[in-house]
Structure 1
Amino acid sequence: MIKKAELHVHLEGTATPLLVKQMAERNGAELDPTTFASDGEYRWSDFWEFLKCYDKAAAAIRSRDDYKTVTYDYLKRAAAEGTIYVETFSSPDHAASVGISYEDHLMGIADGIDAAREEFGIECRIIVTCVRHLGPEKALEVAKKVVSTPHPYVVGFGMGGDEAQFHPKDFAPAFDLIHEAGLPTTNHAGEFGGPQSIRDTLTHLPVTRIGHGVRSIEDPDLVRELAERKIVLEVCPGSNVSTGLYPSVKDHPIDALKKAGCIVTISSDDPPFFHTSIGQEYDRTQEAFGYSDDEMRTITRNSIQAAFCEDSLKEKLLAKI
């Protein structure tokens, strides 16, 4: 089995419908019935409906122990598919919306990481994220918490959410604060926003990675810049197909970006929402483009080399490939 690593998965978005229902029942939380379709899977029709569905499901996570459960459950599934390293996006804003403190949110995830490492040997680190459509003031609050409450598992900072809201430069204070504290950053761009969204991110935010970044393919000069600057792309093919960006994995630009010299990685984004997993992402990409096992291992190496974790851990992980 090819060893795998992923850099782009939203922790709340890893929780399966069954797990969300179990946590809601345990917590006495009432779930919006429109969260699920008749077959029990998540119900959404487009990207903006997906964001709403994500929020409704995430609201079932109500405690430090719930965050441990979600983290452990995902890492168990990932390890079963040969994954040796995960960087998961955490969202303090989602935790705060149900009354969980930043510290309890963080410690719950850390508890899950420790438990999964002990049982399955998988490693995980945390990228704390702000939510773009909540605005720059909220983002700065999250950034301040990251800086004032350091944790060895928190290795970076990022931003997700609706790309159509606000401008990257509005979030420069938050990202600059993190950068000055010595942590690397990434940002979702070029998913539903076009190439200009990526350009604006590169201009105004101190990022070394771009979440998705696939619409750069529409601008050859931008593709060349990404390759020359070695900006790593956190590519999630199954997510982009599910949300309607591309009709199939074969039509996805990951191969064209790879051939153009861009550093591409493969991740699952929000796996149960998109009926996928990191293992399926690797398998479908390999099948669609006829990649050899060695080419897939190179993609794993790309992920580990681009990871925000400590160099000593990278060396251990690279030795496992």
Structure 2
Amino acid sequence: MVLKAELHCHVEGAAAPELVIEQARKYNKPVEPFLKDGSFVWHDFTSFLAAYDFAADLFRTEDDYARLTEHYLTSLARDGAIYSEVFTSPDHATKAGLSPQAYTNALGEGILRARAKTGIEGRMIVTGVRHFGVESVEAAARFAAKCGHPLVTGYGMAGDERFGDVEDYVRAFEIAREAGLGITVHAGELAGWESVQAALDHLRPARIGHGVRAIENPDLVKRIAERGIVLEVCPVSNIELKVFPSYAEHPFLALRKAGCKVTLNSDDPPYFWTSLKKEYDVAAEHFGLGKKDLSVITRTAIEAAFVDRKTRAALLAKVDAAAPRR
């Protein structure tokens, strides 16, 4: 089995249907029309968000959130993952009636439980939601900088890339960078190459969430490759959201061949009928990657992970020990 690592997954969006159904029973909520026959139901971005918000609303207590991360990371470990980063959202915490600190502590507890059971390492990336506005995004950055949780190692921005101007969010990223947090930002998914360029110009991230629309500008692809910016690519999500019409037209291979550092990720896995394992399987089937190629991609993810040097070295040793020779 090729060992795996994931850098791009939204924790509320990682809740498996069976866990969501259990939570719905707990809070006496009907699951239809959002879930049917054990699968999420949506047909466009609006209905996707409705299903997502329905499921997220079923996680309300510290125990609920600890169960969520424990369930997800344990499932990853079963599929051969040794490392996971999840995006967390102080805005979801507030909506659930929890303080961001209580929410973060609970998610961290779940990560520790999964590690105790399986050995998988996990970290949290606090995210601001772009379309909630500058004040909200800066508040998330201040929380990330001051929360003091040892598993909070990164900061990012998700949400609608088409909302607002990137330069308006510079202060939020400065707050996070000054606190020593790793920096990532969603760009180049639903918005074009310009969103990636703007993120690089103004926010100076080490990684870009998605970033695949950069392929529309060869000079930008060259810049990404030369600077060693890591792309958190989510192929199945891109196809399901119709960012690209087919795997044959997906730019994963073109970006890789151009020298860009690419990784494989599941985004909001059950909503896109995927998993980290499936992303690796898709890369093998549709992109023609062999086990050695896939092991290199895992290594790229670990090298780009927002972890301390000792943890990174231990994870890389595992990847190298398990790497196929051909």
Query: Structure 1 length normalisation: TM-score?
Result: 0.96
CA contact (8 A) 2:21 2:31 kept: no
Q: Counterpart of 1:291? A: 289
Q: Counterpart of 2:29? A: 30
The 3-state SS of whatever aligns with 1:30 is: coil
Give ranges in structure 2 of 5+ residues lacking alignment: 320-326
Q: Counterpart of 2:154? A: 156
Q: Counterpart of 2:49? A: 51
Aligned: 1:281 with 2:276: no
1:130 to 114, 128, 131: 128
Q: List aligned pairs for 1:24-103, cutoff 5 A.
A: 24-26=24-26, 28=27, 30=29, 33-36=32-35, 38-103=36-101
Q: Counterpart of 2:322? A: none
Q: Counterpart of 2:208? A: 210
Q: Provide the rounded CA distance (Å) in 1 between the counterparts of 2:145 and 2:11.
A: 21
Aligned: 1:18 with 2:24: no
The 3-state SS of whatever aligns with 1:284 is: helix
Q: List aligned pairs for 1:240-319, cutoff 5 A.
A: 240-319=238-317
Q: Which amino acid aligns with 2:8?
A: H
CA contact (8 A) 1:29 1:60 kept: no
Q: Provide the rounded CA distance (Å) in 1 between the counterparts of 2:309 and 2:37.
A: 44
Q: Provide the rounded CA distance (Å) in 2 between the counterparts of 1:258 and 1:41.
A: 33
CA contact (8 A) 1:44 1:50 kept: yes
Q: Provide the rounded CA distance (Å) in 2 between the counterparts of 1:240 and 1:70.
A: 24
Moved beyond 4 Å, runs of 4+: none
Cα 1:184–1:245 change in 2 (3 A) is same
The 3-state SS of whatever aligns with 1:89 is: strand
The 3-state SS of whatever aligns with 1:216 is: helix
Q: List aligned pairs for 1:168-179, cutoff 5 A.
A: 168-179=166-177
Structure 1 position 35, deviation (Å):
2.2
Q: Provide the rounded CA distance (Å) in 2 between the counterparts of 1:125 and 1:141.
A: 20
RMSD across aligned C-alpha pairs, in angstroms? 1.3
1:181 to 179, 182, 190: 179
The 3-state SS of whatever aligns with 1:8 is: coil
Report how many residues are paired.
319
Q: Counterpart of 1:6? A: 6
Q: Counterpart of 1:111? A: 109
Q: Provide the rounded CA distance (Å) in 1 between the counterparts of 2:117 and 2:31.
A: 34
Query: Structure 2 length normalisation: TM-score?
Result: 0.95
Q: Provide the rounded CA distance (Å) in 1 between the counterparts of 2:33 and 2:102.
A: 29
Worse-matched range after superposition: 286-295 or 84-93: 286-295
Q: Which amino acid aligns with 1:34?
A: P
2:229 to 228, 231, 252: 231
Structure 1 position 39, deviation (Å):
2.8
2:219 to 218, 221, 240: 221
Q: Which amino acid aligns with 1:273?
A: Y
Structure 1 position 46, deviation (Å):
2.1
CA contact (8 A) 2:105 2:149 kept: no
CA contact (8 A) 1:249 1:285 kept: no
Q: Which amino acid aligns with 2:11?
A: L
Structure 1 position 18, deviation (Å):
2.3
Q: Provide the rounded CA distance (Å) in 2 between the counterparts of 1:120 and 1:21.
A: 24
Structure 1 position 155, deviation (Å):
0.5
Q: Provide the rounded CA distance (Å) in 1 between the counterparts of 2:42 and 2:283.
A: 24
Q: Which amino acid aligns with 2:12?
A: E
Structure 1 position 32, deviation (Å):
6.9
Worse-matched range after superposition: 141-150 or 71-80: 141-150
Q: Provide the rounded CA distance (Å) in 2 between the counterparts of 1:216 and 1:56.
A: 32
Q: Provide the rounded CA distance (Å) in 2 between the counterparts of 1:31 and 1:63.
A: 19
Q: Provide the rounded CA distance (Å) in 1 between the counterparts of 2:51 and 2:158.
A: 15
The 3-state SS of whatever aligns with 1:125 is: strand
Q: Counterpart of 1:198? A: 196
The 3-state SS of whatever aligns with 1:129 is: strand
